[in-house]
Chain A
Amino acid sequence: MFYREAGQFKTSYAADQAAFPISQDRVFIGIWLLIGFVAVPLLSNEYLFRAIFIPFLIMALAALGLNLLVGYCGQVSLGTGAFMAVGAYAAYNFWIRIPGLNPLIAFVLAGGVATLVGILFGIPSLRIKGFYLAVATLAAQFFIDWVFSRIGWFTNYTPSGSIAVPAISLFGFEFESPLRKYFLCLTILVLFAIVAKNLVRGRIGRAWMATRDMDVAAEIIGIRPMYAKLSAFAVSSFFIGVAGALWGFVHLGSWEPLAFDVNRSFSILFMVIIGGLGSILGAFLGAAFITVLPLILNQTPHWLGIQLSTAMISHIEFMIFGALIVFFLAVEPQGLARLWRIAKEKLRLWPFPY
C-alpha cells in the first residue's frame, strides 16, 4: 500500500518519459538528497567525513562508472585502478602545467584523458570476450602503474615519485575543511548519477544492454558492436577518471602510484558485484558496504576488548572480508540492489499477504 503505482496516470508525453515515473520513487530520492545535503552535514563530525563519507562518495562515483561498463555493457574490466590513476595524474599535470586553471576544468580534462586511455584499452574487447578480456584489462593496470612510477615527466620529476597537491579552491572557496570537500564530492556525484541514469534508459544504454545480453544478436538487430563497446569503455573511463582525480586531489592530497594498484581495481569490482550488476542504486550500496566494512572489522576487536597484534587483526580482516564476499554471493547473487527490489514488492502489498 506504500508503493502502489495504481492511480498514477500519465497524461503527457513528458510524464511518460520521466526518469522516475512513480511518485514514491521521487519522494524517496528527495529524502536521500535531503539526508545527503542536510542531515549528514548537521549530524556528522570531521572523522566521519574523512574516514567514511568522502571515500564513500568518490568510490561510489568510480563504482557507478565501472557498473556502466560491467553491469550494463557486460565487459569485465580489472583495470579500474589504472583508469583512476590516469585521471589523478592527468588532473595533476593539467593543474601544474596550466597556471590558474580552474580545478573543475582540470578534473573534466582529466576525465577526457582517461576516456582516451579507456578507449585504447577497450579496443581488444572487439576481438576478445569474457575472462580473456578481464585478464587483458590487467595489462592496462600493470602498464599504467609502470608508466607513472618510472616516467618522471608525469610526476613532474619529484624525487620520491609521490605527488602532493594543496587544497583546491573554486570560485573563491578554499576546499580545505572536510565539510566543504564533502559538499563538492556530493554535488559531483549527484550530477554524474543523473547523467548515468539518463544514459542507461536512453538509446545508448539500451545498445549496451543488448550487447551485454548477447552481442551477436545485438549486432544482427543493427547495433554496431564497436560503437556500443567502445562508448561504454569511454563513458565508464570518464566517470572513473574524474573519480580518480577527486580521490587524489580531494581525499588523499598526496599520493603515489600504489594508491591505484590492482587491489583498488578489485575493491571497486567488489562494490559493483555486491551492490548489484546493472543497477545505479547498486553502485551506491556496494560502495557503502565496501567502504564501511573494513572500518567495522578494524574496530570490532577494540570494542570487544580483545587484545590482538595489528598483524593478526589485518589477517583476520582479510579472512572475514573474503568470507563475507563468498557469503553475499551465495545468499544474494544479484547484489544488494535486489534486496531493495524485494522490499518494494513487499511494500506494494503490505499489509496484505497478496
Chain B
Amino acid sequence: MGFFIEVLVGGLMAGVLYSLVALGFVLIFKASGVFNFAQGAMVLFAALSFVRLLDILKDTFAPMLLALAITIAIMIVLAIVIERLVLRPLVNQPGISLFMATLGIAYFLDGFGQAIWGSDVYTLDVGIPKDPVLLFESIFEGGVLLSTEDMVAALVAGLLVAALALFFQRTRIGRALRAVADDHQAAQSVGIPLNYIWVIVWSVAGLVALVAGIIWGSKLGVQFSLSLIALKALPVLILGGFESVLGAIVGGLIIGAGEKLSEVYLGPYIGGGIENWFAYVLALFFLLFRPQGLFGEKHIDRV
C-alpha cells in the first residue's frame, strides 16, 4: 500500500509539471484560438536564457533576481515580435495555418536559442532542496518516500495557477482577456484592442514557460530535450480540453498518475518504455466518451 501511494504521489507530482506546460498552451488557445506548438520551444528558450544569464551575472549582487528580470523582459520582447511578425500577417487564416506557423516558430526558437546560448547541457540550481523525505511512517509500513523537489514544484505550480486565476478574474486586463476568448469580434466591438491582448497573452505564456523551464531545468538539466516536453503536454491538453485552465491541471494529474502507475504495474507485462505513448492512448480513450475533453466547451455545429 505504501508503495502504491508512493508511485501515485510521484505520478501526481510529475503530472503537475505537465500541467505547467499545458497551461501555456491553454492560455494562448483561449485568447487567440492558436494551437501554439512552440510552447515547448519557449520553455527551452526561457530556461536557456535564464541559466546562461545566471552564469554571466554571477558576480553581481543579486544574480538570481537580475537573471529572472532580464529573462522576463526577453520573453515579453519575444511576445511582441511574434505578434508583429507572425500573428498580425496571419489574421483570419484557418487554424491549421496558424498551427503550422507556430511549428515554424518552434523550429526558429530551437535554433536561435541554441545558436546564441550554446547547446550544451547546463545544470541549473535555484536552491530547491533535492533530498527525498519519508512521510507517514506511522501509517504505512516503510513509509512513503517523496522527493522534496517535486513537492516544491507542485507548490510553485499551485501558486502560479492561483495567481493566474486571480489575474483572469479580478483585473481589468484579465476581464479583457476573457472577453477576447469568448468572442473576438464582440470583444473588438466594445473597444478591446486585439493586438495588445495577444501580446499580453503570449507574454503570460512566456512567463509560464519560464517557470516550467526553471523547474524542469533544475530537475533534468537545461538541454534540448526540454523542447520535447511539449509533446508530453499534448495528451494533457486533449484530456482536459483546450479551453480550460482547470482541465490542464486535472488532465495533468490524471496523465501523470496514470503514466507512472502503468509503467510500474503494466510495464513488466508488455515491455518497458510504455510511458512514451500511454498518455496518448489514455487521452484517446477519454476522448471517445467526451470528444471535447473533460472540461472543454461543447461545440455546437450549425449549418
User: Chain A residues in contact with chain B, CB under 8 A?
Assistant: 70, 76, 124, 127-132, 134-136, 138-139, 142-143, 145-146, 149-151, 214-217, 220, 262, 266, 269-270, 273, 277, 311-312, 314-326, 329-330, 333
Interface positions, chain B 105-125, Cβ under 8 Å from A, are 105-112, 114-115, 119
- B1 interface contact, C-beta 8 A: no
Q: What is the predominant secondary structure among interface residues of chain A facing chain B?
A: helix
State the Cβ distance, B24 to closest chain A Cβ, in Å.
15
Residue pair A146, B93 in contact (C-beta under 8 Å): no
Provide the bound-state CA to CA distance between A320 and B110, in Å: 11
A131 close to B99 (CB less than 8 A): yes
On chain A, the residues within 8 Å of B108 by CB distance are: 318-319, 321-323, 326
- Asked if B276 lies at the interface with its beta carbon under 8 angstroms from chain A, I say yes
Residue of B nearest to A270 (CB): B100
Q: Is B95 an interface residue (CB 8 A)?
A: yes
Chain B stretch 226-274: residues in CB contact (< 8 A) with chain A: 231, 234-235, 237-238, 242, 271-274
**Minimum CB distance partner of B270 in chain A:** A150
Question: Measured between alpha carbons, how far is A104 from B303 in the docked complex, in Å?
Answer: 46
User: 5 closest pairs, A vs B, by CB?
Assistant: A318-B111, A322-B108, A322-B107, A325-B104, A139-B280
User: Are A130's CB and B90's CB within 8 A?
Assistant: no
User: Judging by beta carbons under 8 Å apart, are B103 and A315 in contact?
Assistant: no
- CB contacts (< 8 Å) of B190 on chain A: these are none
**8 sampled A-B residue pairs with Cβ under 8 A:** A134-B35, A145-B276, A145-B277, A269-B100, A319-B112, A322-B104, A326-B85, A330-B101
Across the two chains, which residue of chain A brings its CB closest to B119? A311
Q: Given A136-B284, A329-B100, answer yes or no on A146-B273 (Cβ-Cβ < 8 Å).
A: yes
Rounded to whole Å, the gap between the CB of B114 and the closest CB of chain A is: 5
What CA separation (Å) do A256 and B111 show in the bound complex? 26
| B111:A333 contact, CB within 8 angstroms | no
Chain A residue numbers with a CB within 8 Å of B90 are: 329-330, 333
Residue from the list B107, B238, B274 in contact with A319, Cβ < 8 A: B107
Beta-carbon contact of B119 and A318 below 8 Å: no
The reply to whether A317 and B231 form a contact with Cβ atoms under 8 Å apart is: no
What's the minimum C-beta distance from A266 to chain B, rounded to whole angstroms? Answer: 6
Chain B positions within 8 Å of A277 at CB level = 96
A150 touching B288 in the complex, CB below 8 Å, given contacts A143-B280, A315-B115 = no
Select A138's contact among B97, B234, B287, beta carbons within 8 Å: B234
Range class of the B interface residue count: 35 or more
Smallest CB separation, A134 vs chain B (Å): 8
Query: Which residues of chain A are near B299, meaning CB under 8 Å?
Result: 129
Measured CB to CB, the closest approach of chain A to B136, in angstroms, equals: 35
- Complexed CA–CA distance, A144 and B106 (Å): 24
Q: Which residues of chain B are near A316, meaning CB under 8 Å?
A: 111, 115
Once the chains are docked, how many angstroms separate the CA of A151 from the CA of B271? 8
Closest to A269 in B: B100
B85: chain A residues within 8 A (beta carbon): 326
Contacts of A266 on B, CB cut-off 8 Å?
A: 103
| Contact partners of B99 in chain A: CB under 8 A | 131, 134
Inter-chain CA distance A75–B281, complex, in Å, is 19
Tell me whether B31 is interfacial, beta carbon within 8 Å. Answer: no
Q: How far is the CB of A31 from chain B (nearest CB, A)?
A: 31
Q: Contact: B96 with A325, CB < 8 Å?
A: no
A270 neighbours in B (Cβ, 8 Å): 100, 103
Assess whether A315 is in contact with B119, with CB atoms less than 8 Å apart: yes
Interface check B174, CB cutoff 8 A: no
Residues in A whose Cβ lies below 8 Å from that of B287: 124, 127-128, 132, 136
The residue from B89, B96, B119 contacting A273, defined by CB atoms under 8 A apart:
B96
| Chain B residue with the shortest CB-CB distance to A78 | B234
Q: Which B residues are CB-close (under 8 A) to A333?
A: 90, 93, 97
Are B95 and A139 in touch, CB under 8 angstroms?
A: no
CB of B69 to closest CB in A, whole Å? 26
| Known pairs A322-B107, A330-B89 / 10 extra A-B pairs, C-beta < 8 Å | A76-B96, A132-B293, A135-B234, A273-B96, A318-B110, A319-B108, A321-B111, A322-B108, A323-B104, A326-B104
Cβ A325 vs Cβ B115 within 8 A: no
Q: Give A266's nearest chain B residue, CB to CB.
A: B103
Residue among B93, B109, B234, B293 with the highest chain A CB neighbour number at 10 A: B234
A143 lies within 8 A of B277 (CB): yes
In the bound complex, how far is the Cα of B303 from the Cα of A65, in angstroms? Answer: 29
Complex Cα spacing A143 to B279, Å: 10
Say yes or no: A315-B231 contact (C-beta < 8 A), given A270-B100, A322-B104, A322-B106: no
